[in-house]
Amino acid sequence: MGKRANGEGSVFPYKDGWAGYVWVTTPEGKRTRKWVYGKTREETHEKWVQLHAEAKRGPVVTKSPTLGAYLDYWLREVIEPNLAPSTAATYEVFSRLYIGPALGKKRLDKLGVRDVQTWYNKLRVTCQCCAQGKDARRSKPKCCAAGSCCGQIASDRTVRDAWTILRAALNSAVREELLTRNVAALMRVPKPRRRKVKPWSVDEARLFLESARVRRDPLYAAYVLILAVGLRRGEVLGLRWEDVDLDSAEMTIGWQLQRVRGHLYHRETKTEASDAVLPLVDICVTALRDRQAEQEAARKVAKGEWVDKGLVFTTRTGRPVEPRNFNRSFAKAIKQADVRSIPVHATRKTCASLLVALDVHPRIAMQILRHSQIAVTMNIYSEVSSEATRQALKKLGKQLS
């Protein structure tokens, strides 16, 4: 091996095997020893060489937390302060239900590609009712806890999302110099196919809106906005009257309403690409004027019980409309209109398909739907003006009026 310089460490017999150490610098800047062990001198020397090379590349962690402990820190200090509440809640649920139980006790620096691959493969075939004790928590077990496994296997999308969140956590550990590589990123994970929902046709959208208008559905104006302008559910429910200018036929999109972990959040939209000043077509202006009159009438009836939140869509006492209640109202309106059932989030696809069916240029459709990338709308691009956007929306409004 030759004579080593000061600070290189050494390898020597230790108990029933061999031991070695290398002087390293920790991420905190402290100079200390890190040890390696093996049954033979060759095994220990190989580990020593790897550690020595790692020490030359940069800081080395001497005390590594478990993956579970790091996930707790990552969610609390990195995710919650920087991401939307709904996104943070999703990360927490996936970490708690799918990652922590299998990998949480594994030391961060000992986590290998094989560990992650084994976890991934097992997650794809494990009944989550059994793994999470869902049936066991029922007052009267009826499947897994009763001895008859229901085979509630996680979808391919769920499994990939769990892996994606693990990869993001390990990426953070690499940035913090707790790891030298991300073992989850070294895996090859198949991308599941998205379940395609067929959007409504122009006739189906018209029938739905006509039914809601005839019945004087209190959420008729909301249905118009999600179909004619492609607003998301949270954006509709978070829309404020101060952001609506009916005289100029414009509205500003910048707020959304979300229910996360039992709390109702009225917060800014997720990205700057979601913010926009959109022109309102005639059908939208008419529907919003009617909504304004209906709300004023409800305010007079409620009297002292009215809670003024400044929102366009509220309950009979001025409070925000719960997102889940909106879903229920939308599903009920579909049945009453006797049209094909689609989820609320598919209305944006309906709006997009209507714009394409009406020969609206893809760049205009992108501006209306506020996609961050043209590839989301279509794989082409061009320049448009705000007047072109207004004309496209008027064209769509005539079809739906």
Q: What does the pLDDT read at residue 303?
A: 87
For the chain, the first-to-last Cα distance in angstroms comes to: 86
The CATH number of domain 202-400 is 1.10.1040.10: no
Domain boundaries, the chain: 10-57, 67-186, 202-400
H or E, element range at 54:
helix 41-57
Decide: 303 and 295 in contact? Cβ < 8 Å: no
Closest CA to 354 of 203, 225, 234, 178: 203
- DSSP letters for 200-259: P-HHHHHHHHHHHHHTT-TTHHHHHHHHHS---HHHHHT-BGGGEETTTTEEEE-EEEEE
Which pLDDT band, with edges at 50, 70 and 90, does 360 fall under?
A: low
Rounded distance, CA 400 to CA 102, Å?
Answer: 52
pLDDT digits (tens, 9 = 90+) for 212-267: 999 999 999 999 999 988 899 999 999 999 999 999 988 988 899 999 888 898 88
Q: Which residues of 271-283 are buried (b: 16+ CB within 10 A; e: fewer)?
A: eeebebebbbbeb
Compute and round to an integer the Cα radius of gyration of the chain. Answer: 29
Q: H helices within 74-214, ranges in order?
A: 80-82, 85-94, 100-103, 113-125, 128-131, 156-175, 202-214
Task: Report whether pLDDT(66) > 90.
Answer: yes
Residue-wise pLDDT for 321-350, tens only, equals 999 999 999 999 999 999 999 999 888 878
Select 67-186's CATH number: 1.10.150.130, 3.30.200.20, 1.20.58.760, 3.30.1600.10: 1.10.150.130
Indicate the pTM of the whole model: 0.72
Which phi and psi angles does 12 have, rounded to 5°?
Answer: -155, 160
What mean pLDDT is reported for the chain?
Answer: 85
